[in-house]
């Protein structure tokens, strides 16, 4: 009998306040795939949004996770072993 691997969960979260990063950090540790909607925070305070994005980037990199933007409103964080395809743009 083969041992079953634990499932990988996908979770969608709306970031309304910088304090939401605390629970996001815990979800990253649990190897979840996270889709983060940032529009409400962006509408309130762009400066806070920048700090939150910088913190999320640091959290992801420290966990060996990958992070990328999904359009204007969302960010995705994937656990190690799941790489986000990022097109290389031709700057010519």
* Residue range 55-75, pLDDT digits in tens: 999 999 999 999 999 988 999
Question: Number of structural domains, the chain?
Answer: 1
* Angle made by CA atoms 10, 31, 1, in degrees to the nearest 5: 95
User: 88 in a domain, yes or no?
Assistant: no
Instruction: Note whether 51 and 58 are within 8 A (CB).
Output: no
Is pLDDT at 92 greater than 60 in this prediction?
A: no
What residues have CB less than 8 Å from 87, skipping those under 6 apart? none
In the prediction, which pLDDT does 91 show?
47
User: 19 in a domain, yes or no?
Assistant: yes
Give the residue from 84, 73, 71 showing the smallest Cα distance to 49. 73
User: 85 in a domain, yes or no?
Assistant: no
User: 2 in a domain, yes or no?
Assistant: no
Report field, pTM of the whole predicted structure over 0.75: yes
User: 31 in a domain, yes or no?
Assistant: yes
Decide: helix, strand or coil at residue 12: strand
Handedness of CA 75, 80, 82, 83 (dihedral sign): positive
Mean pLDDT, residues 16-38 taken together: 97
User: 86 in a domain, yes or no?
Assistant: no
User: 83 in a domain, yes or no?
Assistant: no
């Amino acid at each position: 009998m083969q041992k079953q691997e634990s499932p990988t969960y996908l979770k969608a979260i709306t970031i309304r306040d910088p304090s939401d990063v605390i629970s996001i950090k815990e979800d990253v540790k649990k190897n979840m795939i996270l889709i983060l909607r940032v529009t409400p925070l962006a509408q309130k305070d762009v400066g806070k949004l920048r700090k939150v994005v910088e913190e999320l980037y640091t959290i992801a990199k420290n966990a060996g996770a990958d992070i990328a933007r999904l359009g204007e409103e969302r960010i995705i964080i994937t656990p190690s072993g799941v790489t986000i395809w990022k097109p290389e743009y031709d700057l010519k």
